[in-house]
Structure 1
Amino acid sequence: MKKNLVFIIILLIGSIASAQEGNEEELNEVRTNEKKTPDFAQKKKPFTKKTKSKPPITDYKIISIKNDTTFVDTTLTIQRDYNFNYLRRDDFGLQPINNVGQTYNSLIKVEEYNHLLPLFGARARHFNFMEAEDILYYNVPTPLTELYFKTTFEQGQQLDAFFTVNTSPRLNLSIAYKGNRSLGKYQHALTSTGNFRATANYRTKNDRYSIRTHFVSQDLLNEENGGLSKTGLNQYLNNTEEFREEADEFSDRGSIEVNFENAESILLGKRFYLNHKYDILKKTDSTNTNIAVGHILDLTDKSFQFDQAAPTDLFGESYDSDALVDKVALEDFSNQLFVNVNNNWLGSLIVNAGISDYNYGYNTILTLEDGTDITNRIKGNIVSVGGSYQKYYKGFQLAADGMSIISGDFDGNYLNASAGYQLGDYGLQVGISSSSSAPNYNFLLYQSDYVNYNWQNFNNTDATNDFKNVETQKIHANVQVKNWANIEASYSTIDNYTYFTKNTDSITVPEQYDGSLNLLKLKLSNSLKFGWLGIDNSIVYQNVSNATNTINEVGDVRTFEVYNVPNIVTRNSVYYQDYWFKRALFLQTGVTFKYYSEYDADGYDPILSEFYVQSPNEIEYFDNMGTDGDTTQTFGGFPQFDIFFNARIRQTRIYFKVENFGEAFSQNNEFSAPGYAPRDAVIRFGLVWNFFL
């Protein structure tokens, strides 16, 4: 079987090498971030089949929602290895739960502040959910295809297929689908996800009118097992004499007991997005000012549903002894008008105003046993105004953007400002940010068939129970030394921080911290090359202060930290790379070391699909699983090694990786979240293949 596999791989590599044609020098060019790249659509003689020379790689342009433009890059770098995963982006600072397509525990929390309305809940399911800013647009001289494939755990695979074409020099269309199905090694942990997206990018012949639009449909399904049961924890850890004798049996993760095998959750989403503008005054040789008016429309529907065939005592009492179905939906419809004035001397100024209609909630009103009514809807609209500014001049960069609600049931605003200077290989940027927004919808209103998972924290009869806006202030700085190091520093203050935690009955509940917590974050990124050898380092230091909360529940006083992250998170790679076989193959191989310091990791709640802060009782429970009273459930403080072997043949990148290599010699006894194990050692294979027709 192994000989046949090796033969198939060799045959595949050989067929790729013989089938593809391309300009090797062009494909080795590095990616650029400059906005003004050559535009084939403005050439007098567009590329045709009769043209002998192929269009340069810089003509295959990728455009973001902010109009930043790069081009297709088929090179093989260490960053490409970091991006070769389920998310298709660098996952540094994320600790995955055991199966592909499940959620991640955030070692480095990224707070989402640049929004006015509350965010939809089920944030643990949003790592692979594509928002409007994640969608890219294209402009290509010839049809372009990209195929991504990677193996998963047990049965299943990952695939991301993308195709784009310019039907004319001014109209580009693209279509893509990313799918994942993985059975997983533990019982009832199957994941099945799909992300469909289609885009259009058009501008008129005189370049006065332009339009970018996309449609996205997404479904992210996970079977839920509630993590390892008490028996399953002992089976996994082999920390009693009984289970040590059966250690070989439990090395098969499918034989380890989980809490339940009858539940699943699914996040669904659809979005239609339209961004178009018209130039009233266009820049010419006689004027250096451009004035444009535009309109942005965003129609988003989301829903989250948790199904369970029968209730479990793990989450307390339930209203129904049969199947449970918790479903919540959000309809968000926003329109925004803007005026953009762009002057060579003054810079680019945008003034905008918008209106948003929101409708979040459930189909029933719930009355609790004490007579309290839990409403079913948060519904209304807001009116907002804002603007942004950008100016680049001889290395100096100025930027600012902000928005504020001026009418509606919610209050909210945000402001970001930054200044920077680039001098050759050296760059410095400093900035400030401030925001105020309501907590996510599932903090404000939640209904469930489980009795204790019902709450309303807005428009209460007793207004003191209403949750306040989360307010954040941040200052940050970034120092860059090209081809050597990048240093980032930030200091944040968060007021009215909202979080989930466990109460004295071990039920997940929403809480709001009435203090002001502080977060210091330092990051060093360093990349060095010595001939054939390369070293890449990313190190983050985090320090949280003034985050201790005390809650008194019926005489039970609980003290705990509301914001938990490891102090140190690091990733270090040492690798070899060079051309082989007369430059027909580019080889890259090495090892990546990952580590984060020990800390009290957040737990995962499958009903909410949210992470929660561990309560003192829960920490004590997991810390005393060992027969000798030792701490056996470890979060961090252990190394992880990945060995990779990558190759590029023309436009194809081939990836082999041994993930969590050290576990192959000794079974895991660590955890990604309370009750949830990390991934075992596994060999995975994949490729990314580009076609330029």
Structure 2
Amino acid sequence: MIRQITIIFFLVISFASFAQQRQLQRNNGSTLGTGNKDIGDAPKTVIDNREKPPIEDYKIISVENDTTYVDTTLTIYKDYKYNYLRRDNFELLPFSNVGQAYTKLAWDFDEVDLLPDLGAREKHYSYYEVEDIFYYNVPTPFTELFFKTTFEQGQNVDAFFTTNMTPRLNLFIGYRGLRSLGRYQNLMSSQGAFRIGGSFESKNNRYHLKTHFVSQDTNNEENGGLTPVAAQQFLAKDEEFDDRSLLGVNFEDAENMLYTKRFFLKHHYKVVKGNDSTRNNQIRIGHTLNFTDKEYWYNQTSPFFGYGESYKNSNLRDEVEYQRVSNLLYAEYCNNLLGEIAFQVKHSNYNYGYQRKLILDSTTINNRIKGDIVSVGGRYHKKIGGFDLTGDAMINLSEEFSGNYLKAKARYRINEDAVADAALVINSSAPNFNFLLFQSDYVNYNWQNDFDNIQKQELSVNLKSKKWANVSAHLTQINNFTYFGLEDNPNGVTDTITGISSAQMVKPAQYDGNVGYLKLKANRKFEFQNFNLDNTLMYQNVFEGEEVFRVPEFVTRNSLYYEDFWFDKALFLQTGFVYNYFTSFQANAYDPVLAESYVQNSFELEGFHRLDYFFNAKVDQARLFFKLENFISIFDGNNNFVAPLQPYRDFAIRFGIVWDFFL
């Protein structure tokens, strides 16, 4: 189906391009296709003397109508984003292969929802949320190509194309693909993400629409990490095991996968148009549709001793599905004196579960959680002097899944260089569904819980200033923090030969105390002629609940680099070093059955130094990236972990390109 949609889309684009070319010929006075012409006559050459549109005309628009434009510059921040996620991963520590899980060095709690999600959060880092899809308005067709090498075999690519069929109709299409074999046994990553959509507004500017469709699959082979013996060999830096494929892993016959689809539609109609420039007395009605479908499964040929007993002796398969259909209706009134006031009502239908019930001696574990939820709320926006105030609140009208949220934000522009904002987020919602209901062919991985709502309160303050610094502070309190942890397994034992133990088992739990968390982060760049020093420092303090919530106290990134134009400004060059460090802490472990991290008490992740050397260049609209990753391990070797039994990446040479085309 996706292939057919892609073919149809490109046929439409080809037709549009042909039509634009014919129009161009007519505008330039060409006589092609007119008058009497002998068969042997050569066609006349059409020269396009039009001025190229400024880059500011290539607009990128968020789902909330925040607008930026295509940025083709090369900065150190582009280097930070040149990775699998295509965003700055300062707060994440990647596993050994591209497309695997991450160890969190810091947490954010500003996202809100009224209903639980599927779970399997370690497979959602690359997932396209609604906010991750952007819309465009471009004067000419625009294409971006992304390529980066991976580990051993494969590549990471992202191809994107957008065009305006008319000034009011934009279409876009993109595909992101990943394949990486990895350096350890049974650790291949594979991903495909297809996205297509567009935006439209009517001639009279009354009707506006944004829509997209996303289909994504994230597949990983899983090996359970190094065996206890292999972990000791890795720590000893034995040269015999520089070939990482020789290190033993816990199993070589498992994989998990998250497959998702989403159709999204957001549109509104201006019943009373009002004043176009100020929107005074404008009345609009709007509708948002979100249909999301997710499936997660875990396959394993033979059961692994460390996970305890299993109901089957071979071909284990856990599979769960989740569908959610949400329709939101709103009516909004805009007034210069009162501001923008909206009332909204939302209906959500959810369906999560398995194809079977599990009947045990003492209880029965159901196979499905489904129902309907109606929510009501409102939004507010007003500019008062230099302040920009926004608010958004909703509450569920249901006893089955109670929930509510409040978001309030005040933004103030100090001057042309500096902007400050403060935000308050309050959210109460149920834990993800995999905390509430989970079934597996492993005996220990079966539960049904009735947990209380997680209650989050976060206060944040941000200052952005090119002249001084970018500073942010987040103070978070969480009641009923829900997590995965370890419990003693009464039937567990330890294998005396391999050292593998099943004496503890992963279980969901809810903390009966409070979690208090402070995060302070600052960024400042210093310039001296052609040399730059970019510094990011983060301080964190868990002053309550540190037995279940752990982060390093300090995380730092320092980049020292040189940049300049070469060859009569035909090439812009950047080269230098990026240094990273974090202090020691008890990092969460990774469970491939759940695709979740869990709290553990036996492993201390020692803080370690990372040093990368990079050489980047920009030629015309192409940005070239070349990097020596974990450069310091060339001299001292690598025996660092990112989580229990999960080794960090060795030295690697990686390169690639981001190329923008403007037709």
- 1:259 and 2:250 aligned: yes
Q: Counterparts of 1:127 and 1:344 in 2: how far apart (Å)? A: 41
Conserved? CA contact 2:279–2:335, under 8 Å = no
Q: Counterparts of 1:654 and 1:437 in 2: how far apart (Å)? A: 44
- Cross-structure match for 1:646: 616
Which residue of the other structure, out of 208, 220, 228, is the alignment partner of 1:210? Answer: 208
CA offset at residue 133 of structure 1?
Answer: 1.2
Change in CA separation of 1:640 and 1:354 when aligned onto 2, cut-off 3 Å: same
CA offset at residue 408 of structure 1?
Answer: 5.2
- 1:604 and 2:590 aligned: yes
Q: What SS is found at the alignment partner of 1:407?
A: coil
Which residue of the other structure, out of 333, 346, 359, is the alignment partner of 1:354? Answer: 346
- Cross-structure match for 2:336: 344
- Cross-structure match for 1:291: 283
- Cross-structure match for 2:447: 455
Conserved? CA contact 1:98–1:678, under 8 Å = yes
CA offset at residue 324 of structure 1?
Answer: 0.3
Q: What SS is found at the alignment partner of 2:434?
A: helix
Conserved? CA contact 2:209–2:267, under 8 Å = yes
Q: What SS is found at the alignment partner of 1:124?
A: helix
Which residue of the other structure, out of 465, 488, 505, is the alignment partner of 1:481? Answer: 465
CA offset at residue 231 of structure 1?
Answer: 1.5
Q: What SS is found at the alignment partner of 2:552?
A: coil
Change in CA separation of 1:421 and 1:532 when aligned onto 2, cut-off 3 Å: same
Which residue of the other structure, out of 678, 685, 691, is the alignment partner of 2:648? Answer: 678
CA offset at residue 50 of structure 1?
Answer: 5.2
Conserved? CA contact 1:383–1:408, under 8 Å = no
- Cross-structure match for 2:34: none
Q: Counterparts of 1:144 and 1:321 in 2: how far apart (Å)? A: 54
- 1:567 and 2:559 aligned: no
Q: Counterparts of 1:72 and 1:475 in 2: how far apart (Å)? A: 32
The gaps in structure 2 that reach 5 residues or longer are: 1-26, 29-46, 490-503
- Cross-structure match for 2:11: none
Q: Counterparts of 1:295 and 1:310 in 2: how far apart (Å)? A: 49
Greater CA deviation, 162-171 or 426-435? 426-435
- Cross-structure match for 2:485: 501
CA offset at residue 331 of structure 1?
Answer: 0.6
- Cross-structure match for 2:51: 53
Q: What SS is found at the alignment partner of 1:503?
A: strand
Q: Which amino acid aligns with 2:445?
A: Y
Which residue of the other structure, out of 635, 649, 659, is the alignment partner of 2:605? Answer: 635
- Cross-structure match for 2:511: 513
Q: Which amino acid aligns with 2:176?
A: K
- 1:467 and 2:451 aligned: yes
CA offset at residue 113 of structure 1?
Answer: 4.1
Conserved? CA contact 1:491–1:520, under 8 Å = yes
Q: Counterparts of 2:59 and 2:606 in 1: how far apart (Å)? A: 41
Q: Counterparts of 1:643 and 1:590 in 2: how far apart (Å)? A: 6
- 1:111-510 paired onto structure 2 within 5 Å: 111=109, 113-238=111-236, 247-284=238-275, 288-368=280-360, 370-407=361-398, 409-424=400-415, 425-457=417-449, 466-505=450-489, 506-510=504-508
- Cross-structure match for 1:7: none
Conserved? CA contact 2:517–2:544, under 8 Å = no
Q: Which amino acid aligns with 1:282?
A: K
- Cross-structure match for 2:69: 71
Superposition TM-score, scaled by structure 1 size: 0.85
Conserved? CA contact 2:391–2:409, under 8 Å = yes
Conserved? CA contact 2:109–2:456, under 8 Å = no
The gaps in structure 1 that reach 5 residues or longer are: 1-46, 239-243, 458-465, 549-560, 623-633
Percent identity between matched residues is 51
Q: Counterparts of 1:220 and 1:70 in 2: how far apart (Å)? A: 30
Aligned-residue Cα RMSD (Å) equals 1.7
Q: Counterparts of 1:395 and 1:187 in 2: how far apart (Å)? A: 58
Change in CA separation of 1:580 and 1:404 when aligned onto 2, cut-off 3 Å: same
Q: Counterparts of 1:168 and 1:404 in 2: how far apart (Å)? A: 40
Conserved? CA contact 1:427–1:480, under 8 Å = yes
CA offset at residue 650 of structure 1?
Answer: 1.1
Q: Counterparts of 2:327 and 2:58 in 1: how far apart (Å)? A: 31
- 1:655 and 2:619 aligned: no
Q: Which amino acid aligns with 1:488?
A: S
Q: Which amino acid aligns with 2:454?
A: V
- Cross-structure match for 1:20: none
Conserved? CA contact 2:628–2:652, under 8 Å = yes
Q: Which amino acid aligns with 1:195?
A: A
Q: Counterparts of 1:305 and 1:670 in 2: how far apart (Å)? A: 30
Superposition TM-score, scaled by structure 2 size: 0.89
CA offset at residue 111 of structure 1?
Answer: 3.0
Deviation track 1:89-136 (CA, whole Å, cap 9, x = no partner) reads: 111110000000111111111236410001211000000011111111
- Cross-structure match for 2:92: 94
Q: Counterparts of 1:284 and 1:439 in 2: how far apart (Å)? A: 45
